A and B are shown apart, each in its own frame.
Chain A
Amino acid sequence: MDNRRDIHTALEAVYETHSRRVLATLIRLLGDFDQAEEALQDAFAAAVDQWPRKGMPDNPRAWLVSAGRFKAIDRLRRASRQDQLLTGHTVIAPVPEREPAEAAETGDVDDDQLRLIFICCHPALTLDARVALTLREVCGLTTEQVASACLARPATIAQRIVRAKRKIRDAGIPYEVPDRSELPARLEGVLRVVYLVFNEGYSASSGDHLTRPDLSREAIRLGRLLEELLPDPEVRGLLALMLLQESRRHARTDSAGELVRLEDQDRELWDRNLITEGIERVNRIIRAGRFGSYTIQAAIAAVHARAKRPIDTDWQEIVSLYDILLRLEPSPVVALNRAVAVAMARGPEAGLVELDQADENGQLDDYYLSHAARADFCQRLGRIGDARQAYKRALSLTRQGPEQRFLAGRLKSLAPEDEKSCRNLERDVEK
């Protein structure tokens, strides 16, 4: 009896560790997402039935692949007997036949997971579809879980996934790891999806809750998986960046769910383990000498993480890192962040000069953080009127409850211009 219970526990563990990999291999062998899903379920059903009686196989993963494939072929045969035709079932570019047991033993299995990641993040799919498909197929979330993570109805997500799979089939998106010449660009696309998932969890773009921790955890898991499969410096850099940002999660909001700025955060709440891991990772990548913008962003996060108090922050170091980042990735948003660092290192006046330069062509005009930064610089310079105007503009540009309340709070902290208009503003924000 105990033995049977052990096998059930073992089965759950096998499901946890292997189900996504088995699925990835089955997609390759069967050339179809939905058939592979069904085959995966069949394989585990067979395992539940057989393992308690016959014992665990030596190589559970190979067993499951083999069983799933067998069940799928069986299903196809039955279907073909029923309607006397077996056509058009291979929809993803076919892969040469080989013994699944053998395939499961070789590096192909890792490649299958990479293939799955690359097909789910293919740039021919909409960004929404890439996120949903990755969470569903690579992370193994249920449609309901994906829906709640993306603040969408399950029916919407289900439809999004069905459409994406149809496009994969009809447009002929192949189940392959891109070749070397295309890998950097395609990997960048994958990392973008991973970071988007992380950020949706870390700083939800809409809704009343600032963060959705499950999504960030999934993104970090994805990052670790990618690193295992494809140890590229930028994969490592993104993982380090996510770890360091995640370390501040509990300090980023107060008990009422309000946003707490970095300088006001209780640093005791920062997760030391994540910080240690993040900093070690950043150091290792930089020592190796090949890195890109995710690594530099991680290095900036590491400077903050190292400071025991806000006043200990090495802002000069941060400005230097932004100089590098701006060279790697020239963008107004990076320039804006650099302006904020300059204001900290050399004072708000210098910050304003940099900010004006960053917004030279008005590209930051609709970006609330640009106005929030301007407001902060002006406030520190005692230019209260300018600060008020900039806070108001920032407020009008953000849709997030906590961000809005934070800005309204800052606005209120300025010498009151007119009590009534502040109150009106607060009321607007509450809505």
Chain B
Amino acid sequence: MKYVCLVYADEYRLHSQPESPEDAECMAFSETQKAAGRVVGGEALEPIATATTVRVRGDEVSVSDGPFAETKEQLAGFYLIEARDLNEAIRFASKIPPARVGSIEVRPVRSLEP
């Protein structure tokens, strides 16, 4: 099965805690997991201040700044992985370095009905 591991963290805390991961650690983790064939894709994201929200209502395209929801933790990155089942996906998620300061939401990928 395919799962997405969404990495959520408080942006201000993400890089400032004693247990915060350095970029080098995240890169090394990502490379190893890719080499092992577990990771299909994934990226770290720029902070939420850089985000833009797009909606289409009728024929109107509306563009606004930021995501509209006020949340304690923001989406900081994601992995798309291949795992046998949820337990394997959880095992993967528990090794993602920012899991130590934030949280990982594990979601199965839904295949669209043709």
Contact = CB atoms under 8 A, between A and B. Distances in A.
Interface of A: 93, 122, 124, 170-174, 176, 178, 182
Instruction: Tell me the dominant secondary structure on chain B's binding face.
Output: mixed
A174 B88 CA distance: 9
A78 to B, nearest CB: 25
A174 B84 contact: yes
Contacts of A172: 1, 3, 83, 85-86, 89, 108
27 contacts: A93-B84, A93-B85, A122-B86, A124-B86, A124-B90, A170-B108, A171-B86, A171-B108, A172-B1, A172-B3, A172-B83, A172-B85, A172-B86, A172-B89, A172-B108, A173-B85, A173-B86, A173-B87, A174-B84, A174-B85, A174-B86, A174-B87, A176-B85, A176-B87, A178-B87, A182-B87, A182-B91
Contacts of B91: 182
Interface of B: 1, 3, 83-87, 89-91, 108
A182 B91 CA distance: 9
A124 B106 CA distance: 10
Most-contacted residue by chain B among A93, A171, A172, A176 (CB, 10 A): A172
The 10 closest A-B pairs by CB, nearest first: A174-B85, A172-B85, A172-B86, A172-B1, A93-B85, A173-B86, A171-B86, A171-B108, A174-B87, A172-B108
B61 to A, nearest CB: 33
A173 B84 CA distance: 10
A119 to B, nearest CB: 10
A330 B88 CA distance: 31
Contacts of B90: 124
Contacts of B87: 173-174, 176, 178, 182
Contacts of B1: 172
Contacts of A122: 86
B98 to A, nearest CB: 20
A174 B3 CA distance: 14
Most-contacted residue by chain A among B3, B85, B90, B91 (CB, 10 A): B85
Contacts of A178: 87
A190 to B, nearest CB: 14
Contacts of B84: 93, 174
Nearest to A122: B86
A170 B106 CA distance: 12
